[in-house]
């Protein structure tokens, strides 16, 4: 995100890296002779100062501006983690990384297309696609995809992709409509050769067009939709200054980096003259898409879109009236390419307000009053395209203190040749065209500060009470509250049958009734990782096996699947973090919440998929002493009809 603060001494220590800073970073690398033609630069992020120092920071105080990054030498496959101090223009930390043990660098821009000439030069592969009726290689698109780890000895110590191919009959044709299935090439990018070509009995290439812009496919555009106009004639109710977004009682610092994309920092709510902290840092720290088709051409498919593809770098340039509607504020983002150069992503972040129906309403027969107030929310969002899928991430802040994260999945489902109409691991979308079953599992990293750094966490379930002398009519029910005291105990799963929620409470502050101030995490009860316990993907994506993990904050524990994800053999990240089994009582806590979609594709998802949704909510629970929206005024005259003097009476939802 562009830094518009002219005085570096007044710049907040969490201000995202600017173009001049990235250029200065590259200058240090060049002076240290760390950049060659074979060097690739990954995972460039601001190395954030300690939480305590940031919370204590005041304008005029200069904290170190440091950059963390990973260098890959493609000629030797040497990995080097660096920390650069921008003020001193020097490398202050340097560490070599064992790529075999810890994982390789993420996918580079050249990897996606780099497999194409290698594969097309291999006679085994050319023969395999010819058997499927494809001889014009100019119409073949080869896609090199992250390979995972599956025990092949000749893949150790090299950069690997697995290559699938699609036929594209004309430039705007949808390649996903014509998978050349039943063949996959295992490609060694380091030595530029195909290690093996794996075939199955699927021999056909689906023929029906998937070009959803072609009138022959979509039909004529309908003419029945009337315009909906969203206007704010007096302007927006929020302000954005030096990266701080302020709206109603909310304040949040907006960040962005090339790995996670949008990040939220120091989220607080102004209450009784005080900005009360709730969330120190929030992001989507990882996501995995794992496929459930066991055939050799698809069983290896699992993609970590954050760690393997750095989805922050893939953010879309959002468009008014299409991606966002209404009075919009756009924010550019600055990321770093594979060669260490800054790239500005225009309109990467969208900020706007939305009406959200009824906030509260009551018609009172005894007092003769009828009152209604409108809910409103602030939306902070970005969209990324990762190959065939498009993902939107929408943070919502509500007038009543609620926080919500919603992910939107759309784009095009990954396709295959359908082995048979009743094949149990895919859906037939069109004649001979399949879409394998799969999951999209996200990990939200929520560094909590509910009324301060010292927090505790409890699991709360609804409980049925048996009929007894105390409960003679059998109508009673209550709730159980279980304190999660250590990291290993806090590996938990959602349970919709008991309405399970997790309470994050202050260890230092209470409300006027004497209860600890707190927020509740409301999960959606959806499947976690469905792969077998002994599978490769479960070793690599251990975080996706449970809905909740809680750790004591540590600055080096940032990513649920570990620092290097590509070609990582597994067991890193959260499963290793919790081995310390640190205390969670009155400590600085980080919640890691797994949520997402288990997708059994529908015919309605083809040739482009309507948005599907997943997410979670954080709600205040005794954080406020009463409803914090009593001061929200009724809608102005002309928008809602008042039923009594001074009251608002519009009942629309």
Instruction: Fill in the DSSP letter of residue 640.
Output: B
pLDDT digits (tens, 9 = 90+) for 172-184: 999 999 999 999 9
Mean pLDDT over 239-250 rounds to 97
Which sequence spans correspond to the domains of the chain?
A: 8-97, 109-218, 247-620
Whether the predicted pLDDT of 637 surpasses 80:
no
CATH number of 8-97: 3.10.450.40
**What pLDDT is stored for residue 651 in this prediction?**
52
**What pLDDT is stored for residue 636 in this prediction?**
85
- In sequence order, what are the residues at sequence separation of 6 or more whose Cβ sits closer than 8 angstroms to the Cβ of residue 198? 183, 184, 185, 186, 296, 297
**What pLDDT is stored for residue 639 in this prediction?**
53
**What pLDDT is stored for residue 551 in this prediction?**
98
**What pLDDT is stored for residue 7 in this prediction?**
55
Residue 112: pLDDT band with limits 50, 70, 90? confident
From the list 3, 122, 188, 305, the catalytic residue is 305
The CATH fold of domain 109-218: Nuclear Transport Factor 2; Chain: A, (3.10.450)
Does 391 participate in catalysis according to the annotation? no
Residue 48: pLDDT band with limits 50, 70, 90? very high
Residue 113: pLDDT band with limits 50, 70, 90? confident
pLDDT digits (tens, 9 = 90+) for 434-454: 999 999 999 999 999 999 999
Q: Cα–Cα distance between 169 and 181 in angstroms, integer? A: 16
* Of the options 2.60.40.10, 2.70.98.20, 3.40.50.1110, 3.90.1480.20, the CATH number for the domain spanning 247-620: 2.70.98.20
Of residues 633, 623, 506, the one with CA closest to residue 269: 623
Whether the predicted pLDDT of 265 surpasses 70:
yes
From the list 389, 396, 398, 425, the catalytic residue is 389
Classify each residue of 298-336 as buried b or exposed e, where b means 16 or more C-beta atoms within 10 Å of its C-beta.
bbbbbbbbbbbbbbbbbbbebeeeebbebbbbbbebbbb
Domains 8-97 and 109-218 share a fold: yes
Q: Cα–Cα distance between 146 and 114 in angstroms, integer? A: 12
**What pLDDT is stored for residue 196 in this prediction?**
98
Does 303 participate in catalysis according to the annotation? no
Answer yes or no: are the C-beta atoms of 548 and 490 closer than 8 Å: yes
pLDDT digits (tens, 9 = 90+) for 280-333: 999 999 999 999 999 999 999 999 999 999 999 999 998 877 888 889 999 999
**What pLDDT is stored for residue 69 in this prediction?**
98
Q: Cα–Cα distance between 82 and 98 in angstroms, integer? A: 14
């Amino acid at each position: 995100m562009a830094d518009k603060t002219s005085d570096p001494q007044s710049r907040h220590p969490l201000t995202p890296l600017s173009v001049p800073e990235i250029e200065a970073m590259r200058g240090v690398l060049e002076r240290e002779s760390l950049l060659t033609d074979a060097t690739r630069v990954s995972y460039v992020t601001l190395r954030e100062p300690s939480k305590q120092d940031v919370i204590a920071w005041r304008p005029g105080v200069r904290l170190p501006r440091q950059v963390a990054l990973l260098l890959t030498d493609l000629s030797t496959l040497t990995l080097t983690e660096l920390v650069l101090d921008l003020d001193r223009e020097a490398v202050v930390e340097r560490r070599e990384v064992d790529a075999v043990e810890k994982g390789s660098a993420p996918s580079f821009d050249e990897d996606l297309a780099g497999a194409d000439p290698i594969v097309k030069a291999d006679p085994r592969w050319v023969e395999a696609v010819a058997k499927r009726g494809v001889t014009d290689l100019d119409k073949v698109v080869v896609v090199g995809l992250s390979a995972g780890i599956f025990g092949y000895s000749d893949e150790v110590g090299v950069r690997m992709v697995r290559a699938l191919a699609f036929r594209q009959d004309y430039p705007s044709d949808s390649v996903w409509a014509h998978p050349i299935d039943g063949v996959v090439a295992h490609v060694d990018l380091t030595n530029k050769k195909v290690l093996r070509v794996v075939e199955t009995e699927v021999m056909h290439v689906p023929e029906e067009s998937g070009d959803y812009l072609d009138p022959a496919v979509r039909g004529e555009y309908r003419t029945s939709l009337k315009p909906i106009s969203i206007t704010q004639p007096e302007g927006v109710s929020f302000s954005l200054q030096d990266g701080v977004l302020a709206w109603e009682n909310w304040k949040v610092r907006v960040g962005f980096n090339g790995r996670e994309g949008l990040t939220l920092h120091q989220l607080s709510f102004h209450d009784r003259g005080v900005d009360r902290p709730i969330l120190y840092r929030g992001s989507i720290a990882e996501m995995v898409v794992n496929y459930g088709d066991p055939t050799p051409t698809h069983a290896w498919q699992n993609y970590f879109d954050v760690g393997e593809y750095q989805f922050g770098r893939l953010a879309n340039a959002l468009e008014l009236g299409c991606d966002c509607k209404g009075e919009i504020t756009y924010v550019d983002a600055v990321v770093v390419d594979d060669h260490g150069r800054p790239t500005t992503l225009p309109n990467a972040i969208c900020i706007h307000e939305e009406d959200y129906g009824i906030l509260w309403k009551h018609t009172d027969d005894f007092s003769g009053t009828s009152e209604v107030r409108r809910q409103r929310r602030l939306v902070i969002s970005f969209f990324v395209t990762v190959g065939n899928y498009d993902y939107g991430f929408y943070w919502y802040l509500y007038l009543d203190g609620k926080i919500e994260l919603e992910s939107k999945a759309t784009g095009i489902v990954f396709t295959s040749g359908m082995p048979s109409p009743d094949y149990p691991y895919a859906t037939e979308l069109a004649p001979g065209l399949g879409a394998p079953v799969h999951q999209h599992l996200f990990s939200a990293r929520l560094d909590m500060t509910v009324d301060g750094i010292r927090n505790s966490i409890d699991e709360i379930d609804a409980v049925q009470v048996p009929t007894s002398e105390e409960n003679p009519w059998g109508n009673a029910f209550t709730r159980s509250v279980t304190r999660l005291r250590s990291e290993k105990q806090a590996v938990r799963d959602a349970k919709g049958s008991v309405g399970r929620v997790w309470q994050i409470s202050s260890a230092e502050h209470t409300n006027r009734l004497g209860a600890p101030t707190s927020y509740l995490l409301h999960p959606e009860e959806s499947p976690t990782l469905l792969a077998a316990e002994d599978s490769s993907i479960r070793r690599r994506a251990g975080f996706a096996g449970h809905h909740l993990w809680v750790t004591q904050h540590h600055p080096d524990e940032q990513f649920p699947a570990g620092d290097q994800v590509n070609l990582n053999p597994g067991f890193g990240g959260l499963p290793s973090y919790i081995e310390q089994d640190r205390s969670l009582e009155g400590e600085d806590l980080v919640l890691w919440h797994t949520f997402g979609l288990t997708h059994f594709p529908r015919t309605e998802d083809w040739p482009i998929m309507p948005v599907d949704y997943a997410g979670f909510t954080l709600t205040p629970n005794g954080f406020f002493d009463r409803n914090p929206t009593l001061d929200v005024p009724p809608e102005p005259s002309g928008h809602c009809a008042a039923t009594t003097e001074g009251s608002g009476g519009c009942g629309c939802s």
